[in-house]
Each structure stands twice: as structure tokens, then as C-alpha cells.
Amino acid sequence: MITSIKENYIFRRAYKKGRCFVCPLFVMYVLKSRQNAPRLGITVTKKQGNAPTRNRIRRILRAGFAAHADELPKADIVVVARGRCRSAKSTDISAALAKMLKEI
């Protein structure tokens, strides 16, 4: 089960000390943790669009990560959506995530 990251200090720690993986759809920061399950934090800036658009992006990213939940490392994962994520389908995000998980 993937839990959510809500605290700002965890986001900042992942940005500062985590490993960075980049693809055209999103940037993923991974920081190993002592938790028993992966934790996921999603960031979508206002540049991406209005609130419904940003919530749609979050929902699609969360669904993509849920599809690969058994492959995720036990770590804090922070995802920053990029510009192309606005028009991406869930299958595109799932494929990009599968490719990134092989690099971890």
C-alpha cells in the first residue's frame, strides 16, 4: 500500500538528498527510508493549469504508481509533473514509470 507524503520537510529532504530521475512527463526524486511501504508525494505547479487540471494530473500520476505498487522501492518518492504531463494518458505515464523503475 502506498501512503501519501503531506509534510513539507519530507518533500524538501527528498529534493535535497534524493536521487533524481528525469523523463519528459515528470521528475522523480527517490530517497531511501526506514518505512515499511513506499510513500508518494506529488507536486503539480500552477503553470500546469487551473485546479481541475492539476487534480486530473495528480489522479493520473497516482493511478500509474498504484499500477506498479509492487515494484516500488521502500522509499520516499516525490514526483514533480512537467509540461507534457498535462496532455498525457495514463498508459503513457505507466510506461514512463516502468522505464524509470528499471533505473532505480
Condensed to tens digits (0 to 9), the pLDDT of residues 19-68 reads 999 999 999 999 998 888 899 999 999 999 999 999 999 999 999 888 88
R_g of the chain, CA atoms, integer Å: 13
Q: Could you tell me which CATH number the domain at 3-103 has? A: 3.30.230.10
Residue 1 binned pLDDT confidence (cut-offs 50, 70, 90): confident
The answer to whether the beta carbons of residues 14 and 76 sit under 8 Å apart is yes
pLDDT value of residue 50: 94
pLDDT for position 41 = 95
pLDDT in tens, 4-16: 999 999 999 999 9
CB 73 within 8 A of CB 28: no
- Classify residue 94 as left (phi > 0), alpha (psi -120 to 50) or beta: alpha
At 81 the pLDDT is 95
